[in-house]
C-alpha cells in the first residue's frame, strides 16, 4: 500500500510540474499583446455568407480566453452578404473585442 501511495504522489507531482512547464513555455512563445507591446490585431477575411466565420472567430476567442494572447479580432469585410453581416454582428455582440471593418480600411484601423 505504501508503494502505491508513493507512486500516486510521484505521478501527481510530475503532472503538476508538466502543467507549470506548459504554462511557462506558452508564455514564452506566445506573449502576444500586452501593456508595452502595443496593439495586436488578428484579421479574419470574410466574404459571402461567412460560412467559416463563426468557427474562425471562436477559435481566436479561445486563444484569448486562455490568456495565451491578447488581441483585437478584426473581421475584414470582403463582400459579406446580408446573412454574412448578420453572423458578424452576432459575433460582435458576443464579445466586445470583435470588430468589423471593410477590407479597404484596414490600414486606417491599424493607424488608430
The domain limits of the chain are 1-30, 33-111
Per-residue pLDDT tens digits for 63-101: 887 666 778 899 999 999 999 999 999 999 988 889 999
Contact indicator for 68, 32 with CB cutoff of 8 Å: yes
| Confidence category of residue 28, pLDDT binned at 50, 70, 90 | confident
Per-residue pLDDT tens digits for 5-17: 999 999 999 999 9
φ, ψ at 96 (rounded to 5°):
-75, -15
Place of cell 454582428: 89
Contact indicator for 76, 99 with CB cutoff of 8 Å: no
What is the pLDDT averaged over residues 17-36? 73
pLDDT at 59 over 70: yes
Sign of CA dihedral 54, 52, 101, 31: positive
Report the predicted TM-score, pTM, of the whole model to 2 decimal places.
Answer: 0.67
Per-residue pLDDT tens digits for 37-48: 457 888 999 989
> Measured between alpha carbons, how far is residue 88 from residues 2, 10, 36, 60 in Å?
58, 49, 30, 14
Q: Which SS3 state, helix, strand or coil, does residue 51 take?
A: coil
Amino acid at each position: 500500500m505504501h508503494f502505491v501511495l508513493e507512486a500516486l504522489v510521484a505521478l501527481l507531482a510530475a503532472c503538476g510540474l508538466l502543467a507549470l512547464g506548459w504554462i511557462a513555455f506558452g508564455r514564452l512563445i506566445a506573449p502576444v499583446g500586452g501593456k508595452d507591446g502595443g496593439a495586436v490585431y488578428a484579421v479574419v477575411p470574410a466574404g459571402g455568407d461567412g460560412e467559416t466565420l463563426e468557427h474562425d472567430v471562436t477559435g481566436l476567442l479561445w486563444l484569448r480566453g486562455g490568456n495565451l494572447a491578447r488581441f483585437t479580432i478584426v473581421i475584414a469585410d470582403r463582400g459579406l452578404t446580408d446573412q454574412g453581416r448578420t453572423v458578424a454582428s452576432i459575433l460582435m455582440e458576443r464579445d466586445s473585442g470583435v470588430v468589423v471593418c471593410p477590407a479597404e480600411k484596414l490600414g486606417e484601423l491599424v493607424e488608430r
